[in-house]
Amino acid sequence: MTVTTPTPYSAIIADQLYIGGWREGTSKRITATTNPFNEETIATIRQASTDDVDAAYEIAQEAQASWAALAPRERAQILTKAADWIEEHQEAVVELIRVESGSTAIKANIETSLAVGSLREAATFPIRITGQILPSNTPGKANYVFREPLGVVGVISPWNFPFALSMRSVAPALACGNAVVLKPASDTPLTGGLLLGKIFEAAGLSEGVLNIVVGAGSEIGDHFVEHPIPRLISFTGSTPVGKQVGATATGGKYIKKVALELGGNAPLVVLEDADLDQAVGAAVMGKFLHQGQICMAVNRIIVQAPLYEEFVEAFSKRVQTLTYGDQCDDATVVGPVINDSQLCSVTERIERARAEGAREVVSGPVEGRVIAPHVFADVTPAMELFREEIFGPVVGIVKAEDEVHALELANDTEFGLSSAVCTRDLARGLNFARQIEAGMTHVNDITVNDEAHVMFGGEKNSGLGRFNGEWAIEEFTTTHWVGVASGQKQFPF
């Protein structure tokens, strides 16, 4: 009997840029990516300069035409092989995600599955890209509308779900015949970037079709977005940075498309007829998965008055059972936040909630970058916990007088990404959900949901565009009208 030894995560680490192949960066800056729990160094990488960005875009542009010219089946096979590679090395991939991004076991496994799902869905795109033939008012003329690749796509990905959210843009962009230049977040250059180079290289993707630059936003960020070659910039991250990316991409010398998946302030509404245990479970999972560092994480829990006190008590008891600490301990539910800046931001929000008079019903220590879960009740719309995205293991509970008030509270935000409502009456839940001003709403489920074949995106200051499924095909392609006349038309001059 043959025993297969699992691949160690150290075997899938890359410490060079991926620009037409592996090469050293030319920036004077060197970055060390570390475990956020204990600060152990995982890899050291010389960063990209603007010259490296230029090279990546130029190589991508040169490689794109031949990639797009491949038969749909051949592009699909590359994506399928990439998904197969991840599944064959799943333990190593999961472990690397845990070590670099501070992810617990459940989050890292979810993230890996999401990335595989994106690849397998994208592998269907090459044969789903269709055009149209339309009639013409000119006799003897035919109108063809071809759906074509954009050319080169620039992708900027975040640190919270680095592997899945990089893949969510890279896979469909490649499937639609584009070449890609990927810039991962500085906190997660491996799982958000260089690991994808390893995967697609193993899958047989031609050099130059995917390029990966690791660099500081202050050195290469604007140059990455302003560059004349990319036709679309796909950005996932905070709303303030996303606004800057959008303005730079559309207001500069070279106007390009943007796809922006930005911040959220997700409400989870608990109506008075909700199943209490189910609502508590959804709120706990939706809030504390990955320490609340998810754009879709429950940010506000809005509970109708008749159930309010009972919910606060049951929710608080459940939260007090959550274990926190080293994310590499399989028993841990709440691990460390990603860096010291995030630590400072979240602890300041805790102090502000106390100062503003919220009732603290669950608290705990802050040990290194690990923040124990914190719960505040009696939060009002005037408080910071209500108005701002927290991005940490802290949540506020708000009382709604009735269903109308609950809807008003849910929509009282500049954001509109994900949301949820809990009720035993499914017709009531559906009606309520459709009135929430958000791109996504889930009835009797958590706010954190993503399925590769279903649209993903937000309203208001939560972004522009849609990811996944047929919506991704539309984002990562363009249409071209080709009118073909018989050659017999007479022109008046």
DSSP state of 134: E
Q: Residue 91 CA to chain centroid, in angstroms?
A: 22
Residue 3 has pLDDT above 60, yes or no: no
DSSP letter for each residue of 202-258: HHTPPTTSEEE----IIIIIHHHHH-SS-SEEEEES-HHHHHHHHHHHHHSSS--EE
DSSP H helical ranges for 33-134? 50-69, 72-88, 90-101, 105-122
Per residue in 65-103, pLDDT (tens digit) is 999 999 999 999 999 999 999 999 999 999 999 999 999
Helix axis angle, 162-175 to 195-203, nearest 10°: 40
Q: Are 390 and 355 in contact (CB under 8 A)?
A: no
Structure tokens at 96: 């690397």
Domain ranges of the chain: 9-262+462-481, 266-443
CATH classification (class only), 266-443: alpha beta
Per residue in 393-433, pLDDT (tens digit) is 999 999 999 999 999 999 999 999 999 999 999 999 999 99
**DSSP bridge pairs for 441:** 419
Q: 1 falls in which pLDDT band (50, 70, 90)?
A: low
Mean pLDDT of the chain: 96
Establish whether 403 is a catalytic residue: no
Which listed residue (295, 328, 389, 422) is catalytic? Answer: 295
Using CA atoms, how far apart are residues 290 and 393, in angstroms rounded to an integer?
8
Q: 490 falls in which pLDDT band (50, 70, 90)?
A: confident
Using CA atoms, how far apart are residues 59 and 34, in angstroms rounded to an integer?
30
323: left (phi over 0), alpha (psi -120 to 50) or beta: beta
Establish whether 176 is a catalytic residue: no
Helix axis angle, 90-101 to 162-175, nearest 10°: 120
Per residue in 457-483, pLDDT (tens digit) is 999 999 999 999 999 999 999 999 999
Q: 2 falls in which pLDDT band (50, 70, 90)?
A: low
C-alpha distances in angstroms, 112 versus 85, 106, 317? Answer: 12, 10, 31
Residue 357 has pLDDT above 60, yes or no: yes
Per residue in 107-129, pLDDT (tens digit) is 999 999 999 999 999 999 999 99
Task: Identify which of 8, 196, 224 has the alpha carbon closest to the alpha carbon of residue 96.
Answer: 8
Amino acid type, 370 = V
Amino acid type, 247 = A
Q: Are 213 and 48 in contact (CB under 8 A)?
A: yes
Per residue in 28-45, pLDDT (tens digit) is 999 999 999 999 999 999
Using CA atoms, how far apart are residues 47 and 443, in angstroms rounded to an integer?
44
Using CA atoms, how far apart are residues 196 and 83, in angstroms rounded to an integer?
11
Which listed residue (261, 389, 403, 475) is catalytic? Answer: 261
Question: What is the SS3 assignment for 2?
Answer: coil
CATH code for the domain defined by 9-262+462-481: 3.40.605.10
Give the pLDDT mean for 181-195.
98
Q: Are 467 and 475 in contact (CB under 8 A)?
A: yes
Helix axis angle, 105-122 to 72-88, nearest 10°: 160
Tell me the whole-structure pTM to 2 decimals: 0.95
H/E stretch holding 159 reads none
